[in-house]
Chain A
Amino acid sequence: MQNDVRALRTAKSFSQEDLARALGVSRQTINSIEKERYTPSLPLALALARFFETTVEEVFHANGNE
């Protein structure tokens, strides 16, 4: 699933490690989400959206429906 996690993260000058630690997942999981190889669960997607103080819809986009 397409997402703006990398853009949101770099806009706030956070490393993948920072984000991973804040969300309680591994750095590799953040990397996989950013590379769109892994679609996070709903709780993790919500936690990501809360972390960036936005909504899930603003972070994740269904393919072809941006």
Chain B
Amino acid sequence: MPTATNDVGVRRSRADRVYRSRWFLPAFALVLGGGMLAAMWVGGSLREGLYSFALMAGLAFLFLLGGRSETIRGLRGDGRDERFAMIDTRATAFAGSVVIGTLIVAWLVEVARGHSGQPYAWLGAIAGLAYLVGIGILRWRS
């Protein structure tokens, strides 16, 4: 087999290397589960917190051991190549659009019912501002 570069020329940052580690997503799921447990415990719902932690730990286990699935390896990070990064970006944009659309509809419904529209107005404003900041930064960097 002719030798070809393993690296297609894209330099990876340290953060990117961490993000692409197979341990990142399982660790994130465990930390999130721990946060949910702590929050629910403080809120007086220890049993629900333990269920949530068990669910997140199971998800972490699935991510860690699901090595043959392209989807799991891509989500986990270590199987993420440029095509999966594109899929991830588009999926994130789709999810963001759905959330923003939902916020707008929820805000309109709340206003129509005579309420203030909170917290949907603030969340929508944050989403819009984040989008504008993102456009500005990405324009500046590219």
- Whether B4 and A29, one on each chain, are in contact in the complex, defined by CB atoms closer than 8 angstroms, is no
- Whether B83 and A51, one on each chain, are in contact in the complex, defined by CB atoms closer than 8 angstroms, is no
Q: Please, how many angstroms separate the alpha-carbon atoms of A40 and B85 in the complex?
A: 12
Given contacts A28-B83, A29-B82, A40-B82, contact A23 B9 (CB under 8 A): no
Contact bitstring B1-36, A, C-beta under 8 A = 1, else 0: 111111111100000000000000000000000000
A55 is an interface residue with CB less than 8 A from chain B: no
Chain A residue, CB-CB nearest to B9:
A43
- Whether B9 and A24, one on each chain, are in contact in the complex, defined by CB atoms closer than 8 angstroms, is no
- In the assembled complex, how far is the CB of residue B17 from the closest CB belonging to chain A, in whole angstroms? 14
Q: Please, how many angstroms separate the alpha-carbon atoms of A53 and B83 in the complex?
A: 23
B88 is an interface residue with CB less than 8 A from chain A: no
- Whether A25 and B8, one on each chain, are in contact in the complex, defined by CB atoms closer than 8 angstroms, is yes
Q: Please, how many angstroms separate the alpha-carbon atoms of A22 and B79 in the complex?
A: 14
Interface residues of A in 20-55 (CB under 8 A from B): 22-29, 32, 38, 40-41, 43-44, 46-47, 50-51, 53
- Whether B83 and A18, one on each chain, are in contact in the complex, defined by CB atoms closer than 8 angstroms, is no
Given contacts A43-B10, A47-B9, contact A22 B4 (CB under 8 A): yes
Which residue of B3, B8, B10, B70 contacts A28 across the interface (Cβ within 8 Å)?
A: B70
- Whether A38 and B83, one on each chain, are in contact in the complex, defined by CB atoms closer than 8 angstroms, is yes
Chain B residues in the interface with A (C-beta under 8 A): 1-10, 70, 73-74, 79, 81-84, 86
Given contacts A26-B73, A26-B81, 20 further A-B contacts (CB under 8 A): A14-B1, A22-B3, A22-B6, A23-B4, A23-B5, A24-B6, A24-B8, A25-B83, A26-B70, A26-B74, A27-B70, A29-B83, A29-B84, A40-B82, A43-B8, A46-B8, A47-B4, A47-B5, A51-B2, A53-B2
